[in-house]
Chain A
Amino acid sequence: MRRTGGQIVCEALLRQGVEVVFGLPGGAILPLYQTLPEYPQLRHILVRHEQGAAHAADGYARATGRPGVAWATSGPGATNLVTGIATAHMDSIPIVIITGQVGRDAIGSDAFQETDITGITLPITKHNYLVMNASELPNVIAEAFHIATTGRPGPVLVDIPKDVFQEETEVADTPTINLIGYKPTIKGNDRQIRRAAELIQKAERPIILAGHGVIFSEAYDELRTLAEKTQMPVITTLLGISCFPEDHVLSVGMPGMHGMAYASLAIEESDLLLAVGMRFDDRIIGDPARFATNSKKIHIEIDPSEIGKNISVDVPIVGDAKHILAALLKLAPTKTHPDWVKHITDLKKSHPSLDIRPTDKLLPQFIIKKLSMATNGEAIIVTGVGQHQMWAAQFYTFKNPRSFITSGGAGSMGYEVPGAMGVQVGQPDKTVWSIAGDGGFQMTMCEIATMVENKIPVKIAIINNNFLGMVRQWQQFFYEKSYVATEYSHNPDFVKLAEAFGVLGLRVTKQDQVESAIKQAMEYDGPVIIDFVVEAEENVYPMIPSGQTVHDMIEEPRQTESQPIS
């Protein structure tokens, strides 16, 4: 068949099962846009800013496990995507990005809106392409999806000159993938798996440290069965949250910089760490030389370059978490460690990181806890970056996989609104709450207009402390409370802003208004913004300062005997 480049792209996307694309047009990508009416099955969501398109594609991918797609025009359109691409890259999110480029003849001439986007995105994509012939498009798009979604997933960018979209060419019925240099290891090495089983047999104080990889490979059942069979308590990394139900008796929460004290202590005291699909990030290990020095370590990880990068391990197993856990499950002994499990229960009591201090003030922790109860731990929570993100990770009790969605590695403020938009598009029947910082919200709030236009009913809870809160906390802890450039003394009136966007706006200033506002938001058919005006100088505890260990942990000073709220 003869097809234009634009038609080839649309048909290739449909062949990949793509149902929605987030984007914004411009000259270089216009020929692609003008073919869209021929493909009504391909839903296009017109964003307000290309960063929103990239974050939305990323949110869609995280919520569904299917690749997200965003596109933009050349030059500034493409560069506006960069934060979103970097965010996806740091967290290994499968997205495919298409950018328009100036015409082939103009490349290299500093033409209007020419930017070397493949050069710019080289270090923040898993791979990228500049396609100089329409005939290459079917294979390139197929390869892009293959690379994005297999092995350790990640973003792939395809840059297409304007005249390549217009070029007509003969195309074959099925594309071919020819990637001789790319063969991710899936199945784990049998001998290493046997060694891992032996270590589990010998361990007295074992811990499973589960990361994002468990979610990518959807190894939830294998993880849970293994944990129960061997009675190994499960700790999840920030991005691992929701891979293991947090109401399970073996769930010990999140460790690290703002993790629960008992989780960090349990790692420190363990004699075996079974790390699955995680990369020993500095927010977890603090000081690589002093992290979990008493334990043997098994590391299950699909990316060989993550093994031995930050922490040296005893038993490395390269491959897919689901395959390896299933194989390990067969060899692992049925065991109990009553003393160890009881010890962790005692740690939870002596270090009650999740107790909220009694006060009349409106605390962010209280709001998250109420939200968790009101949604029965079954909403999908999307966050920005900062204090509210950490409180969401700590105080919401996640029950279902893929229900905690956050920018971990990049820490991109502004993820909360467009990220949640993509999540809701991917999961139209689920309740999606965006827990936003007043700072991050204002970075990308323009996408609320996109939500209204496209009937995307995200509920947004702004944890409004009139500060860039997390930075203010660092200034309090490490710079003698010198609050330089962290106060927002003139935030907009978020309720009026909601009205301006045509969505429901609510303001909450007292504890007793929290529940009813959440209820009202959930009953409302459409996007909602709740402005939770919270205690401004509240801190996230515990905190292990950067580069330190659990021994340097700062826990919340508690005057009174703490009591959990009900």
Chain B
Amino acid sequence: MAYIKCKNLAVGYEGKPVAEDINMKIEKGNYVCIVGENGAGKSTLMKTLLNLVKPISGEILYEEDYNAYDVGYLPQQTQAQMDFPASVWEIVLSGNLARLKHRPFYGPEEKSRTKKNLKKMDMWDKRQESFRNLSGGQKQRVLLARALCASEKMLVLDEPVSGLDPIVTADFYKLIYKLNQEGLTILMVSHDLKEGLEHATHVLHMGQDKIFFGTKEDYVKSEESRYFV
């Protein structure tokens, strides 16, 4: 049962492709890791799958009980968020925004989901604190809690550990793995191969002229991985 299928997908901006011929299939419960050099188009592919950027050609198919917006997203951080005056609670609560449908305010259901995810990420005690005063690892866990409020099916992460120290990084990967074990499908861009790939089930390698997609076992045996791993 596939959630998302890409057929000969080309992604890029203003009609100019950055990466072409992407074929892949993300199934329920997969842990897909996207690797490749800087500028290979990893973030662009992510944004295309999230409907933030229009595909240049090819198809994205969503299947069965998955809809295109049923996703939690952990973006590469932007500057604006850094000085934003918001409490941890406000940010995680905002992950429920799409669940409001036509209601103006959050109800008990959204609040209890927020509480559950804050506890899961071990940030419940910090809920009143200001986001901008948190450490890098804590910020990522807050944004992860927000993403979990948005979807219980699919989590998309773009270089979630850049700028974190090794211990926090290891903890973060453990957390992602735990979520995957609980049934969440993971799609993650990572440039830190050793730890990033450890728990992956599938790999998308975006090379200069060739794009590889397959299981991790096949990837480790393949040519693409040779100079990379």
- A-B interaction: no
Chain A contacts to B: CB under 8 angstroms: none
